[in-house]
């Protein structure tokens, strides 16, 4: 059986990748779990924004686990934020990989790769480059030889990188098809969830799949601490929707101390003024600890931002997550918390940088509709049931 191991630099990215393979995929926090790995196994390191000097110690526990896979996948941000290139460089060198396939495109989210550069394509087809330097410049600057492809004669010698043009799902599928080559086990595959979904299609056709899934039901709790402009716009739309009276500004941790019966359902934890990254992390940690102590167990959790979900998992004492049925929306992953105070709660999650202005409204509507259709615990919907939201 083909083994695939995915090392992600944040938790929402890990779960977005897990969503491609259906339910039952384990997602470990920080490092692999002891014992044999699953056929599809994922680790979220939360290393996107840590200081460069901290990377070796944080990534070392996952090196042997990643190297031993048939397909070693380093999940990178489709906007190439944070330590994207430094992590890929360190893992490829320390892991002894012969070359790098760098394919961060995610066409379903308007992220494409062309001529060695990543682009964001807007709905009107206008596009803008991602980052100040191209992928080609970033990898060459770290000593990698950029080739035209794995078939290039230079691929016989270690130290190469290939940056395929990917502007569509079909072009991504063609890249993923190369993972079936015997020599591909010696390559480090670097990509976003777009590559994960393409690889999932390949592995399903080879008979590798996850077990059946089970959706979460019950009243939803939304938690977001993302201050990305996309997320801020989505909250403005949410506050003008039918959900407006349930929206709650919890930027002040003191607001999170209240009785369980009156606990708010839609929580915006984001700071209301610009603060440093260290201050934001400390604030989020305090908020998560208070929520873990005060908030009632939700029927379903909706979380925006990988740092937000990780802080909640740590505060709740969760040991990891296991993927569940994902929403039919690009960029969203779903998982059941494993261990801790909210053990078994299903969480739908994504990055704060994804989705249109109405995304939060639409997701809450979808979750509510699914809960109504499922009925109370132990109930299955039947013909004649009132399923209107």
Burial 242-255 (b: 16+ CB within 10 A, else e): ebeebbbebeebee
pLDDT tens by residue, 304-345:
998 999 999 999 999 999 999 888 888 888 999 999 999 999
Please report the DSSP string for 286-300 in residue order: HHHHHHHHHSPPPSE
- Residue ranges of the domains in the chain? 4-204, 220-374
Residue 382 has pLDDT above 60, yes or no: no
Report the percent of the chain where pLDDT is more than 90. Answer: 73
DSSP 166: B
When pLDDT is averaged across residues 357-371 and rounded to a whole number, the result is 92
- Evaluate whether the domain defined by 4-204 bears CATH number 3.40.30.10: no
pLDDT of residue 161: 97
Residue from 15, 82, 78 nearest 42 by CA: 15
Can you tell me the distance from the alpha carbon of 340 to that of 15, in angstroms, rounded to the nearest whole number?
19
Angle between helices 306-316 and 11-19 (to 10 degrees): 100
Burial class (CB in 10 A: 0-12, 13-18, 19+), 50: middle
CB atoms within 10 A of CB 52: 10
pLDDT of residue 342: 97
Q: Which two tokens stand for residue 246?
A: 């349930």
Can you tell me the distance from the alpha carbon of 389 to that of 272, in angstroms, rounded to the nearest whole number?
33
Sheet of strand 111-114, all strands in order from the earlier edge strand to the far edge: 111-114, 117-121, 127-129
Q: Which two tokens stand for residue 219?
A: 């009243």
Residue 375 has pLDDT above 60, yes or no: no
In this structure, the dihedral spanned by the alpha carbons of residues 107, 112, 118 and 120, taken in order and rounded to 10 degrees, is: -70
Question: Tokens 């208070």 map to which residue?
Answer: 290
DSSP H helical ranges for 178-226: 193-205
Average pLDDT over all residues of the chain: 90
Residues 6 or more apart from 38 whose CB is under 8 A from it?
A: 25, 26
pLDDT of residue 153: 76
Tell which wins on pLDDT, 104 or 278.
104
pLDDT of residue 374: 61
SS3 of residue 28 by DSSP? strand
pLDDT of residue 278: 87
Residue from 240, 192, 247 nearest 224 by CA: 247
Tell which wins on pLDDT, 59 or 380.
59
Distances (CA, A) of 20 to 41, 171, 203, 314: 13, 17, 11, 25
Can you tell me the distance from the alpha carbon of 277 to that of 203, in angstroms, rounded to the nearest whole number?
39
Q: Which of the following CATH numbers is that of domain 220-374: 3.40.50.150, 3.30.470.20, 3.30.420.40, 3.40.980.20? A: 3.40.980.20
Least confident of 94-103, 152-161, 203-212, 323-332: 203-212
Distances (CA, A) of 372 to 3, 214, 361: 38, 15, 17
Report the percent of the chain where pLDDT is more than 70. Answer: 92
Tell which wins on pLDDT, 372 or 267.
267
């Amino acid at each position: 059986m083909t083994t695939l191991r995915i090392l992600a630099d944040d938790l929402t990215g890990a779960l977005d990748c897990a969503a491609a393979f259906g339910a039952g995929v384990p997602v470990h926090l920080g490092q692999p779990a002891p014992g044999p790995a699953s056929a599809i196994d994922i680790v979220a390191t939360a290393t996107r924004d840590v200081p460069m000097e901290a990377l070796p110690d944080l990534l070392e526990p996952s090196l042997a686990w990643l190297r031993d896979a048939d397909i070693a996948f380093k999940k990178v941000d489709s906007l190439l934020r944070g330590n994207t290139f430094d992590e890929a460089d360190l893992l490829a060198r320390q892991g002894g990989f012969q070359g790098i396939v760098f394919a961060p495109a995610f066409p379903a989210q308007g992220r494409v790769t062309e001529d060695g550069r990543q682009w964001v394509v807007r709905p009107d087809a206008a596009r803008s480059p991602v980052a100040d330097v191209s992928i080609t410049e970033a990898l060459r600057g770290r000593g990698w030889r950029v080739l035209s492809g794995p078939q290039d004669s230079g691929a016989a010698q270690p130290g190469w990188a290939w940056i395929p043009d990917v502007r569509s799902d079909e072009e991504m599928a063609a890249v993923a098809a190369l993972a079936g080559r015997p020599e591909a086990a010696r390559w480090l595959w670097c990509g976003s969830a777009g590559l994960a979904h393409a690889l999932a299609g390949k592995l399903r056709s080879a008979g590798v799949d996850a077990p059946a899934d089970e959706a979460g039901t019950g009243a939803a709790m939304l938690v977001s601490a993302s201050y990305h402009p996309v997320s801020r716009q989505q909250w403005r739309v949410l506050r003008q929707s039918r959900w407006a009276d349930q929206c709650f500004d919890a930027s002040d941790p003191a607001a999170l101390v209240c009785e369980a019966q009156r606990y708010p359902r839609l929580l915006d934890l984001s700071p209301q003024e610009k603060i440093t990254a260290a201050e934001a992390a400390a604030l989020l940690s305090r908020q998560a600890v208070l929520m873990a102590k005060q908030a009632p167990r939700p029927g379903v959790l909706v979380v925006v931002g990988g740092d937000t979900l990780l802080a909640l998992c740590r505060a709740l004492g969760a040991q990891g997550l296991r993927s569940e049925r994902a929403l039919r929306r690009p960029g969203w992953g779903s998982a059941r918390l494993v261990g801790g105070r909210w053990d078994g709660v299903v969480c739908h999650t994504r990055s704060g940088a994804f989705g249109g202005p109405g995304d939060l409204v639409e997701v809450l509507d979808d979750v509510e509709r699914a809960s109504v259709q499922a009925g109370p615990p132990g109930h299955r919907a039947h013909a004649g049931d009132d399923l209107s939201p």
